[in-house]
């Protein structure tokens, strides 16, 4: 089927209890979203899987959790106060405000990200672009800082900012974490937390919000070892769709193995390793690899701190867009914080017996909301044979793991047994109990919200102390003893084949 539009996905998410417009009873609040009873479970599962993959399962990465509001000098040192800006267009008549690069891309199908105000003005005048709302001319172009400003304490003079990223908290705490965790280079520090950006024109549902969760990792290496990555062999045969600066001149991504891209000098070992590692995280959790590509930033796009930046992009319904940025930040951030704070951020190198400033060779940075969209789009299936939507989420991500159905709700002996099964399983899994409607309709409701397993307690369950388990994707059914149920469900959640869990009774 054709991919859903972003508007269709927003409607589906609202109807099923995944995501709602924030403050909808007051007309909503642009750029802010509330996650419903299913959405919060899915989002928490995404964050948990990210943390497991990037921190718990690695011996070279530790975590932290920094404050949302921090000393304003943090953002002066990072360059955000001076440089964290978008170009804004304001209508001279109706005062409609739009973000310049997005507006031009929509109208002219060209990328002007990174253009200065002079170039933007030239494009606007040359193509005679007008206000999308009333058709009037734009005022002189202005830059708009995206940080939310607030005040700390009872006086109005103590200005501070809501953090636009989590990375700077990692840099400001770098020395403490490195020493207390006894880290040796190369190593990473990861963080998940809220970020805030005062977007000029938030759009495309969860894709561009004013409040979001960031999953971010800063990976530090010795300044003399920024070329060779000791882990690259783990991904050397993994294939990516490459769109380097050179390849972008033709406009067609080239699919090749990581080792071949490195050999052709399209990309550095460290960036290639992290791009492959990040795409593997998505595909291991069920995302379609054909919907991904990796694109290198052009010179005019690169952030002021970056030596090189690549984006992991996803083919959203509104085009190829950045899903995750991976930047080589060099030693910019640590040196800036040393300069502004007067504190030593260096580490002692045992080999050379000298102090060194580590380089951030890669910065895998991902918004949880954008990851949420990827998994929802790739899981959504309009099953014509069943006559309903089947949300084929990976069991690890599914908001509800198991649904419990008594075959009939007017037989106390069956209801009692079903409640026993429900109470036993809910200790370990997020379980839903449903006794309303036909079994077929109950299956359909769970298919639509991505529940991977449905368990039915019937008359044979009373006699034989077993149940029927039905798998969402295949609709196959097996019988499993109640005493083995918890272990069998756990096996399935960690990757066991459904047919291995019990005796197949229906295909």
Each residue's pLDDT tens digit, 130-172: 999 999 999 999 999 999 999 898 876 678 999 999 999 999 9
C-alpha 69 chain-centroid distance? 22
Beta carbons within 8 Å of 331's beta carbon, 6+ residues apart: 223, 357, 358, 359, 360
Token pair listed for 133: 């709302």
**Domain limits, the chain:** 6-70+149-376, 85-145, 400-506
First to last CA, the chain: 25
Cα dihedral across residues 243, 244, 247, 250: positive or negative: positive
Q: Residue 29 above 90 pLDDT?
A: yes
pLDDT of residue 351: 87
Pick the closest to residue 273 from 324, 220, 229 (CA basis): 229
Helix runs in 285-367, H state only: 332-341
CATH assignment of 85-145? 3.30.40.230
Per-residue pLDDT of 108-134, as tens digits, reads 988 887 788 889 999 999 999 999 999
Per-residue pLDDT of 259-285, as tens digits, reads 999 999 999 999 999 999 999 999 999
Q: Residue 1 above 50 pLDDT?
A: no
Fold: same for 85-145 and 400-506: no
* Class of CATH domain 400-506: alpha beta
User: What's the predicted TM-score (pTM) here?
Assistant: 0.94
Per-residue pLDDT of 47-80, as tens digits, reads 999 999 999 999 999 999 999 999 999 999 999 9
Q: Would you say 326 and 275 are in contact if contact means Cβ atoms under 8 Å apart?
A: yes
CATH assignment of 6-70+149-376? 3.30.930.10
């Amino acid at each position: 089927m054709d991919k859903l539009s972003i508007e269709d996905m927003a409607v589906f998410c609202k109807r099923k209890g995944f995501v709602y417009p924030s403050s909808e009873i007051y007309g909503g609040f642009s750029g802010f979203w509330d996650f419903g009873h299913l959405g919060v479970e899915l989002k928490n599962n995404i964050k948990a899987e990210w943390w497991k993959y990037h921190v718990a399962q690695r011996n070279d990465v530790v975590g932290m959790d920094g404050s949302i509001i921090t000393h304003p000098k943090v953002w002066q040192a990072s360059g955000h106060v001076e440089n964290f800006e978008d170009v804004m267009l304001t209508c001279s008549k109706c005062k409609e405000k739009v973000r310049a690069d997005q507006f031009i891309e929509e109208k002219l199908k060209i990328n002007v990200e990174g253009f200065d105000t002079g170039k933007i003005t030239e494009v606007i005048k040359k193509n005679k672009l007008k206000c999308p709302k009333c058709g009037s001319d734009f005022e002189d172009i202005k830059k708009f800082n995206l940080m939310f400003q607030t005040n700390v304490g009872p006086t109005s003079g103590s200005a501070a900012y809501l953090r636009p990223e989590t990375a700077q908290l990692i840099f400001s705490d770098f020395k403490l974490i490195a020493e207390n965790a006894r880290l040796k280079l190369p190593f990473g520090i990861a963080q998940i937390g809220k970020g805030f950006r005062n977007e000029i024109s938030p759009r495309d549902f969860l894709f561009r919000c004013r409040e979001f969760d960031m999953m971010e990792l800063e990976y530090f290496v010795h300044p003399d070892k920024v070329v060779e990555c000791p882990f690259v062999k783990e991904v050397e045969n993994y294939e990516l769709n490459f769109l380097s600066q050179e390849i972008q001149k033709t406009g067609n991504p080239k699919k090749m193995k990581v080792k071949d891209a490195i050999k052709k000098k399209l990309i550095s070992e460290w960036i290639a390793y992290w791009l492959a590692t990040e795409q593997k995280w998505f595909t291991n959790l069920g995302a379609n690899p054909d919907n991904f590509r990796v694109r290198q930033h052009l010179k005019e796009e690169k952030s002021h701190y970056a030596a090189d930046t690549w984006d992991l992009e996803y083919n959203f319904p509104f085009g190829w867009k950045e899903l995750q940025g991976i930047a080589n930040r060099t030693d910019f951030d640590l040196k800036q914080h040393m300069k502004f704070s007067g504190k030593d951020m260096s580490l002692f190198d045992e080999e050379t017996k000298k102090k060194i400033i580590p380089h951030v060779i890669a910065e895998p940075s991902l918004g949880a909301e954008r990851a949420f969209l990827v998994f929802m789009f790739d899981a959504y299936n309009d099953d014509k044979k069943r006559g309903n939507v089947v949300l084929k989420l990976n069991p690890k991500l599914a908001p509800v793991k198991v649904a419990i159905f008594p075959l009939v709700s007017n037989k106390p002996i069956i209801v009692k047994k079903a409640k026993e099964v429900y109470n036993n399983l809910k200790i370990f899994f997020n379980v839903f109990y449903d006794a309303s409607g036909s079994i077929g309709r109950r299956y359909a409701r769970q298919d639509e919200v991505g529940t991977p397993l449905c368990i039915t307690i019937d008359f044979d369950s009373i006699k034989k102390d077993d149940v029927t388990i039905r798998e969402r994707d295949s609709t196959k059914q097996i019988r499993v003893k109640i005493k083995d149920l918890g272990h069998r469900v756990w096996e399935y959640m960690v990757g066991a084949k459904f047919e291995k869990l019990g005796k197949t009774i229906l295909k």
